[in-house]
Amino acid sequence: MKTKVVLTFSPEASNQPITHNLIAKHHLLVNILRAEIDEVGGKMVLELSGKADDIRGGIDYLKANGVGVRPIKEGVRRDDEACTHCGMCVSICPTKALTMDLKTGKVSFNEDKCVACGVCIDACPPRAMEILI
Amino acid sequence: MTASEFKEYVKANGVKKAAREVDVVTTGTFGAMCSSGAYINFGHADPPIKMQKIWLDGVPAQAGLAAVDGYIGATALDETNNMMHGGAHVIEDLVRGKAVRLRATGHGTDCYPRKEIDTYVSLRTVNQAVLMNVRNAYQNYAVATNSSAKTLYTYMGKLLPEFGNATFSSAGELSPLMNDPYYRTIGIGTRIFLGGTQGYVMWEGTQFNPGAPRTPNGVPKRPAGTLAVIGDLKQMNPEFLKGLTFTRYGSSLGIGIGVPIPILDEDMARCCAVTNNDILAAVFDYSQPTRSRPVLREVSYAELRSGDIDIKGKQVPTSPLSSMYKARQVSEVLKSWILKGEFTIQEPVQSFPKDRPLRTLDVRTEREAT
Ligand code: SF4
Ligand code: SF4
């Protein structure tokens, strides 16, 4: 099983070997998709793969250590009303989460592929893409 | 028929039959059109003011006309250069029915004693509010890419380093002037779809350049014709008029334009049968900050639409910038208006000039400019 989560943590939590513990103690494969850490804490987007129980255990471990855990679906949102289907985002999204149907010209957003990299945010002319983390 | 339907029809039935059977083809485009703006007459205050400086929601509008006429340009920004809310966004807010803050100052005259005013206006409170765009609906445009090592933010969108992507901005085969390459049916006075209502072509657009190089079938390979258009802002629909932000470039107005093209004869039918395979555009490297950037290659809109193009041996993903989805919508709405008899085709009162040199701005002495 695979899942993508967005972590937010305080400076104290940043000092702990979180990813190491997820790998060593919870037997998870951890793929760091994005990380931003500074003196006031940080954000990280991880892809966790492993057994469902281990994933649950890993997430509980994170929460117990003061790390905010949210599914990535809450991380990036598209305002469908604002999107003009211009297609600017389709050539810059590194994971092809934004794609255009060549027949209809409609651009769709596949949240499952999104890694919350933020590249599309300032590229979207009507500012339809929003990053919440 | 919409332009897309017509192309299919010609493929199946040939030009001859299409010319006989089809009366009108509706084209459409929806994209960022920077040379746009609206003039507004605010009505007179009591005591009256001759406005010399005007701000709408903090964005400066052009005064310098009579007392209470102003023109707000789509790319106008406030003193902080807030690109998230430029002139285009103010125009969209007005079309959405919102009230915007009007501030104006004047020097005070015997007949216009008032020196300042601070109030709110909306499309309901003003006299005229007219969208008047001096250059829209470019007949073909460029393809932008970036060879440099850093991301560029341009009016052609976000260009990733090392040929990371390429952007283009024409609606291609759906685009109005692509279907009437020699301006036989489009001219001054042509009635059009503009921002969700009926508008008119008021002149050739600025930088109108009919002499741009063309393919043997007449389709320009470079930016060529343009339209200056006008229409009642009060009737427009936010579905087809949108304030846009191009990061670090500024604001621009996304607007839907559709032009009906009467199929006068077989020649016209042949023009409207043009497809993305027949339309070429030039790829430019926007990391070269000069007016005459070298052409990297020519590419067809069919290739551009496929999602990636080859540049120097690299598969480069492409982005349209102009919305094909909305362009289709425009052509469909226009078709439905015509079928319902709500929109009648207007023959131009005057054709566009056949030749117009495209001039550049150079630093000259007074004598050189005379
Ligand atoms: S760049 Fe924005 S408006 Fe354009 S297709 Fe993507 S999400 Fe929609
Ligand atoms: S944040 Fe935007 S660009 Fe990045 S993966 Fe998600 S959709 Fe694609």
Q: Give percent of chain A with pLDDT exceeding 90.
A: 32
- Residue B91 is predicted with a pLDDT of 98
The mean pLDDT value for B40-50 works out to 96
Query: Using one digit for the tens of pLDDT, what is the confidence trace for B217-257?
Result: 888 888 888 999 999 999 999 999 999 999 999 999 999 99
- Where exactly are the structural domains of chain A? 2-72, 77-133
Three-state DSSP state, A126 = coil
Does the beta-carbon distance from B30 to A123 stay under 8 Å? no
pLDDT at B354: 85
pLDDT recorded at residue A14? 66
Q: What's the mean pLDDT in B166-173?
A: 93
Q: What is the pLDDT of residue A74?
A: 67
A104 vs A81: CA distance, rounded Å: 17
- A2-72 placed in CATH 3.30.70.260: yes
Please state which architecture CATH assigns to domain A77-133.
Answer: 2-Layer Sandwich (3.30)
Ligand 1, from A77, A79, A81, A83: best to mutate by most atoms within 8 Å of Cβ? A83
User: Which one of A4, A31, A43, A76 would you pick to mutate in the ligand 2 pocket, going by the greatest count of ligand atoms within 8 A of its CB?
Assistant: A76
Q: Which ligand is nearest to the CA of B326?
A: 1
Assign A133 a pLDDT band (cuts: 50, 70, 90): low
A72 has a pLDDT exceeding 80: no
Spatial neighbors of B122 by CB under 8 A, at least 6 apart, are B94, B97, B98, B99, B100
Provide mean pLDDT across the span A1-19: 78
Q: What is Dmax (Cα atoms) for chain A?
A: 51
Total length of chain A: 133
Which amino acid is present at B221?
K
Mean pLDDT of B309-332: 95
Q: CB–CB of B142/B281 below 8 Å?
A: yes
Residues of B with Cβ-Cβ distance to A122 under 8 angstroms: 153, 158, 247
Instruction: Tell which residue, A23, A24, A47, A49, has the closest CA to residue A35.
Output: A47
Size of interface A-B (CB pairs under 8 A): 83
Mean pLDDT of B129-136: 96
Do B193 and B227 meet the contact criterion of CB atoms below 8 Å apart?
no
Among candidates A91, A102, A106 on the partner chain, residue whose Cβ is nearest the Cβ of B319: A91
Checking if the pLDDT of B310 tops 80, the result is yes
Q: Backbone dihedral region of B313: left (phi > 0), alpha (psi from -120 to 50 degrees) or beta?
A: left
CB-based contact A125 B326, cutoff 8 Å: no
Which residues of A are less than 8 Å from B167 in CB distance?
88, 91
CA dist B27 → B208, B235, B291, B341 (Å): 20, 21, 31, 17
User: Would an 8 Å CB–CB cutoff place A126 in contact with chain B?
Assistant: yes
